[in-house]
Amino acid sequence: MGKGTGIGLSISHTIVVKNHGGQLTFTSIPRQGAEFVIQLPVLQVASAAPMNEFVLQPPVSLSN
């Protein structure tokens, strides 16, 4: 089994649950592994800005 720093689950919990209002659950069977399930809410944007408010610019070339 791999060994890590032990903060991955804490970081995942912060991102999924605290930052996005989702759920992070898991099931674990000793010596067989674990399954993690991430569920994120689907939000519908109530008032998106019309596309004509955005000014489209042509791509800029970074090469000569």
Report field, pTM of the whole predicted structure over 0.75:
no
The tally of domains found in the chain comes to 1
Q: Would residue 54 count as lying in a domain?
A: no
C-alpha 1/C-alpha 9 separation (Å) is: 16
pLDDT at 21 over 80: yes
Tell me the average pLDDT across 11-17: 93
User: Among residues 50, 61, 17, which one has the least CA distance to residue 36?
Assistant: 17
Query: For 33-47, how does the pLDDT look when each residue is reduced to its tens digit (9 = 90+)?
Result: 889 999 999 875 555
Q: Would residue 4 count as lying in a domain?
A: yes
Q: Would residue 64 count as lying in a domain?
A: no
Tell me the average pLDDT across 8-16: 91
Least confident of 22-26, 48-52, 53-57: 48-52
Q: Would residue 57 count as lying in a domain?
A: no
State the residue range of the domain holding 27: 1-42
Q: Would residue 1 count as lying in a domain?
A: yes
User: Among residues 35, 17, 18, which one has the least CA distance to residue 26?
Assistant: 35
% of the chain exceeding 70 in pLDDT: 72
